Amino acid sequence: MITLGKSEIGGSIYIPSSKSQTIRACLIALAARGRSIIHNPLYSADTRSCFKALESLGCTLDYGEDTLVVDSTDAGKLTSSSVCLDCENSGTTTYLLYGIAGTLGLDEYTVTGDEQLQKRPIRPLAEAYSDLGLDYDCPDGCPPVTVTGHLQGGHTSIECRTSQYLSSLLLSLPLASRDSVIDIPLLYEKPYVNMTMDWLDRQGIRYSCTDDLQHFEIAGRQKYRPFEETIKGDFSSASFFACAAAITSCTLTLKGLDINDKQGDKGLLDILEDMGALVTCSPDGITIQGPRQLRGGTFDLNAMPDCLPVLSVLGAVTSTPLKITNVRNARIKETDRIACMHHNLSLMGLRVEEEEDGLTVYPGQLRENVTVSGFADHRIIMAMAILSLVTPGSLTIDDESASAVTFPTFFTLLEKIKTKGAPDND
């Protein structure tokens, strides 16, 4: 439990490395069958789940303070014919590892996770891989799922209500024994697919796709190469502090980010500008200056559903209602984030209308001294912490521990910026 209060903010902070990029780097290192060096990796609960899964597959990991070395020379050379890949709470690891594990020569493997992850749908991905040579047993349509066979390639079609389905296929199918074709009649979160494609391009992987990313052709019998790469700052993590500046009408500089990175959540900066914030990019960092009064509006978050919790809290102080649309995929994350944010913001005294694919938040007077639920969801916890900056009295979150999933230093950094001119956290 943590109790937070109203505060102005200021100064500058370094944003931790990207979870999505760190996990992609690790899984390509697994497939590369050699020694890869990852500089500036994120060490968090989600990435450590990925590291443990790699070790279960026979990789050796050397953990440095600023460098992670992954040696996958012996990946798949296990004494047991069956292996359990416990991805804990990491959905990214679960989905993206599923197919790559099927290229390691294992007789059988089981992909599972914690209680929360065992509620996340995996059957669409399992069915797609069954077209490509991997048989599965998954009675409930969610993990655990037991996989047998070897990735052969071929043709499949899949609706991707999470982009992680497609990213999984794109990462694994270059290693298949023959060429593959994927048709995608529905695709959410396209920027995350662009992130995966960027890794394929850096590896020289041969593939082609249509401009709308609804049809891919991937050559089989390819290889990944061991590499040395540096992970940039995480725009998903940065979104909370960008919104902190916006909601408090203060100025904050975010360092360690690469504006040219393929991360989709950097699109939140455009939304904040539409709402009246001033966003300035310089070699020193990205500076967000909150306006005296944020504007409301209607915002399509299909490409960046992880921003729903933190963007929705801004609706408390906007001049007109804030409507978030086309983000049905937010219901199948760690929690049903639309329903959870409707619950918390209503507890805070706001009028909130929940739709199937989003919600509308009406500005209003926030209640004092309220206790809300974090729902064991890191993004909901951090979003409510940002709302506390403009809450009269205090706001208590019943359990803040899940913030460590992607951002273990979040509350430390939040305290650092509560005094104007706070020093950098370097």
Domains of the chain, earliest start first: 2-16+234-416 (3.65.10.10), 19-219 (3.65.10.10)
pLDDT of residue 419: 65
* Distant-in-sequence, close-in-space partners of 76: CB < 8 Å, separation ≥ 6: 57, 58, 104, 105, 106
**Torsion angle in degrees (nearest 10) through CA of 259, 265, 269, 274:** 140
| Catalytic member of 66, 306, 336, 399 | 306
pLDDT at 131: 98
Question: For residue 189, what are the β-bridge partners?
Answer: none
Residue 206: C-alpha distances to residues 145, 153, 350 (Å)? 30, 14, 51
Per DSSP bridges, beta strands 351-355 and 322-325 are unpaired
Angle between helices 91-101 and 19-32 (to 10 degrees): 20
At 78 the pLDDT is 84
N- to C-terminal Cα distance for the chain?
28
Q: Which residue has the tokens 């995996």?
A: 122
Mean pLDDT of successive 10-residue stretches along the chain, which has 426 residues: 94 95 98 96 96 97 97 88 92 97 94 94 97 96 96 97 97 98 96 96 98 97 98 95 97 94 92 97 94 97 95 97 96 93 98 97 96 96 97 94 91 86 41
The DSSP annotation for 187-233 comes to E--HHHHHHHHHHHHHTT--EEE-TTS-EEEE-SS------EEEPPB
Q: Cβ(73)–Cβ(35) under 8 Å?
A: yes
Cα separation values, 319 from 53, 66, 294, 316, 364, Å: 47, 44, 6, 9, 10
Q: Is 306 a catalytic residue?
A: yes
Q: Cβ distance 38 to 70 under 8 Å?
A: yes
Residue 90 phi/psi, 5-degree rounding, is -90, 100
Strand order across the 358-362 sheet: 297-300, 322-325, 358-362, 351-355
Question: Helix count (H) and strand count (E) of the chain?
Answer: 12, 23
d(CA 150, CA 102): 5
For the sheet containing 108-112, what is the strand order? 82-86, 108-112, 145-149, 134-137
